[in-house]
């Protein structure tokens, strides 16, 4: 089931979208402000994010960076001017839907974005990674829980396997600049993940950062490797 984070302060619109997406088979977490989103998003692992730009306590354009989003997202706004659209594209939004819109149009855009949802489960050297359930299953089938922070960090490394990520970039994208985490926090999480996945899975480039280099295979919903 695809999980969607909806950030929308309009009670009527938010309620309608949540209800109708639920009927389409999506699981939706609806938040109505920046503060509520930051508070609740840490307990929800979305595949897609829908963001209203005009929020009661901030600008939705600031949320992708604040949340450290690594999943597809689109902006919803009645203020679909050129400046906002360009800023949205710069931030990495794959869609920008002006209000008012027909629900069918939103649904079609969500289905398009769903094709870009990264798999949540992988096989790595006999170990199973299950990001959605915050767990890693060892070679002996022992299940090891991982924290929300570790899951976000691992998802970022998996999504950026073509490059080495600096500790500062990982910190800002996973934890957010507003939380004032230390780089040691990132190092400790990396140590934990290497213990579970094997030291060879995450490359440490001294003085630069980290890169995931383990061999991955996507797991199907049944738990079998996809060919």
Q: How far is CA 218 from CA 121, 127, 128, 130, 221, in A?
A: 6, 12, 10, 10, 10
Whether 162 and 212 share a structural domain: yes
For residues 28 and 42, the model is more confident at 28
CATH number where 160 lies: 1.10.10.10
The reply to whether 223 falls in a domain is no
Q: Which residues 6+ apart lie within 8 Å of 28 measured at CB?
A: 3, 4, 5, 6, 17, 18, 21, 22
pLDDT band at 180 (very low <50, low <70, confident <90, very high): low
Convert the pLDDT of each residue in 102-160 to its tens digit: 999 999 999 888 877 767 788 999 999 998 889 999 999 999 999 988 998 998 898 88
* Number of independent structural domains in the chain: 2
pTM of the model: 0.63
Q: What is the pLDDT of residue 227?
A: 44
Provide the angle, in degrees to the nearest 10, between the axes of the packed helices 148-159 and 183-197: 80
Convert the pLDDT of each residue in 120-132 to its tens digit: 788 999 999 998 8
Which residue, 73, 90, 114, sits at the end of a domain?
Answer: 114
Whether 131 and 110 share a structural domain: no
The reply to whether 224 falls in a domain is no
Whether 134 and 179 share a structural domain: yes
End-to-end CA distance of the chain: give it in Å, rounded.
21
Domain of 193 in residue numbering reads as 121-218
pLDDT band at 35 (very low <50, low <70, confident <90, very high): very high
């Amino acid at each position: 089931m695809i999980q969607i984070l909806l950030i929308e302060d309009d009670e009527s619109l938010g309620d309608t979208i949540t209800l109708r997406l639920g009927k389409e088979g999506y699981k939706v977490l609806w938040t109505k402000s920046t503060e509520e989103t930051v508070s609740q998003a840490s307990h929800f692992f979305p595949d897609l994010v829908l963001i209203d730009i005009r929020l009661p306590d901030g600008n939705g354009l600031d949320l992708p960076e604040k949340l450290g989003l690594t999943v597809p997202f689109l902006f919803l706004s009645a203020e679909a001017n050129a400046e906002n659209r360009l800023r949205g594209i710069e931030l990495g939004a794959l869609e920008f839907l002006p209000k008012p819109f027909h629900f069918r149009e939103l649904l079609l855009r969500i289905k398009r974005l769903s094709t870009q949802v990264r798999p949540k489960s992988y096989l790595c050297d006999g170990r199973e990674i299950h990001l959605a359930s915050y767990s890693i299953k060892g070679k002996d089938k022992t299940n090891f829980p991982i924290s929300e922070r570790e899951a976000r960090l691992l998802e970022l490394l998996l999504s950026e396997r073509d490059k080495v990520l600096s500790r500062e970039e990982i910190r800002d994208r996973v934890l957010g600049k507003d939380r004032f985490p230390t780089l040691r926090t990132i190092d400790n999480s990396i140590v934990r993940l290497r213990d579970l996945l094997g030291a060879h899975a995450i490359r440490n480039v001294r003085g630069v950062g980290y890169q995931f280099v383990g061999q991955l295979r996507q797991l199907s919903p049944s738990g079998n490797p996809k060919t």
